[in-house]
Amino acid sequence: MTVLTLSTSGAATLRADALVIGIAKGPKGPVVTSGAEAVDKAFGGKLASVLETLGAGGAEGEVTKLPVLSGGLKTPLVLAVGLGPVPEKDEAYATESLRRAAGSAARALTGVKKAGFALPVGSVEDAEAIGEGALLGAYGFTAYQDQGEDKGDAKLPLAEVTLLGTKPRDKAFKAAAERAAAVAEEINRARDLVNTPPNDLYPESFAAVAQAAAKEHGLKIQILDEKALAKGGFGGILGVGQGSAHGPRLVRISYTHAKASKSLAFVGKGITYDSGGISLKPAGHNETMKCDMAGAAAVFASVVAVARLGLKVNVTGWLALAENMPSGTATRPGDVLRMYSGKTVEVLNTDAEGRLVLADALTRASEEKPDAIVDVATLTGAMMVALGNRTFGIMGNDESFRTAIHEIAEEVGEQSWPMPLPAELRKGMNSETADIANMGERMGGGLVAGLFLQEFVGEDIAWAHLDIAGPAFHEAAPFGYTPKGGTGASIRTLVRLAERTAAGDLG
């Protein structure tokens, strides 16, 4: 785990294995940013021209390494990371630009033990963004890779991040560093879960991870196994999981604060592997389906992060866990399931399973009458078609709540977009056999899924649905603080929602 520390040391006096500075894209070439003045002095005031000679221009995410061959610095390596265009007069670098730059730098320092970050710090928020970005960028999933003596630390993430230009004794800076560490560590926990192979992560083992975390952080937890789910009438979760040798689970994990006046429920889709069931996915579409539990991982990590931050809000996480497999006991297309709500659902496609487990969890969460419910799910490929691989869709039954979540996501640097729930699409899910079918019109499939979920939300409860199918699992080259594989999408949004609710800014 990468350690984050604050330091009053200057860039010239810090002893480290590498020193990270910022450069920006100026009208006449790269410009060295604030925080790197001592480094520029050590290069005779010609650091920008040296970097330009090496091809650096200051573009966002660009990384240039420069060895230190003379005195003036106590580090052997300077890493210059691009922050994009120089801000307009009286404007500062966006916190997301700082976060991404720190992530790019940390990724480029794999195998390094200690690095000082001398990026522009104009506020406590800047320091937090840099710390968070560095910790997220330093992530690596190496649990299944050989780390033998011959390989040394070459594949290990950056071990220590030291933020320069900060005030270690200042309460605000200390709190910012602690928040950055708590949120980043929980995002990385979620990434680990998403990246874990499905032969090791299945409903029972996922529930065990949640149980261990609950014990560590003083959270209440309840785990319903197959027998308890059958007794309780959770037909959706059972129907999806009945084809697998690994039985389904419904996990309730909760954090409470004695002075809380508001409560939130987070509901996560946790399909630990999605083969499609009898409606089997074709080759080329099932290789990454270990990521179909990313919603549950996000919910779990968010609850733990809220607990670590001690927020004055009650938060309950619901993890709807199942493995969707074909077998002689699997649900068939045409079967009818009786859900926890009492409604019946005709299953027309067993690969539209996420909405079935979420439906039961939404109904159960609604029984506790929270002030708001947010469900998170890698739910539809249609949302990826609509919004691409980096943006999640937001739907809901309350426009102001949906708007608030969109604004929160923008604030924390997560790309999202509000989507409608057109009433005319509901009739496409009419069934001659049951109360509703789990499929509707093909066009607008992501919206149809949202309409289905809305049927299972309790009355007078603000609800939002985050379809994170695009950004939950990154298959292209890493960028900024985003690695290849699990990303931890939506966690920062959920945590900030909890913070704003605790502060009385919502409702």
Catalytic residue numbers? 281, 355
Q: Which 3 state secondary structure label does DSSP give 347?
A: coil
Instruction: Classify the phi-psi angles of 165: left when phi > 0, otherwise alpha if psi is within -120 to 50, otherwise beta.
Output: left
The H or E element containing residue 101 is helix 95-108
Beta pairing class for 18-26 and 29-32? antiparallel
195, 182, 93, 187: which is closest to 142 by C-alpha? 195
Alpha helices in 164-202 (DSSP H): 171-195
| Residues paired with 6 in a beta bridge | 163
**Residue 483 to residue 455: CA distance in whole angstroms:** 36
First to last CA, the chain: 37
**Alpha-carbon dihedral sign for residues 427, 429, 430, 436:** negative
Q: State both tokens at 439.
A: 């499929």
266, 201, 114, 210: which is closest to 486 by C-alpha? 201
Beta pairing class for 436-437 and 344-346? parallel
Distance from chain centroid for Cα 23: 28
**Residue 338 to residue 344: CA distance in whole angstroms:** 4
Counting every residue written for the chain, the total comes to 507
Q: Which 3 state secondary structure label does DSSP give 273?
A: strand
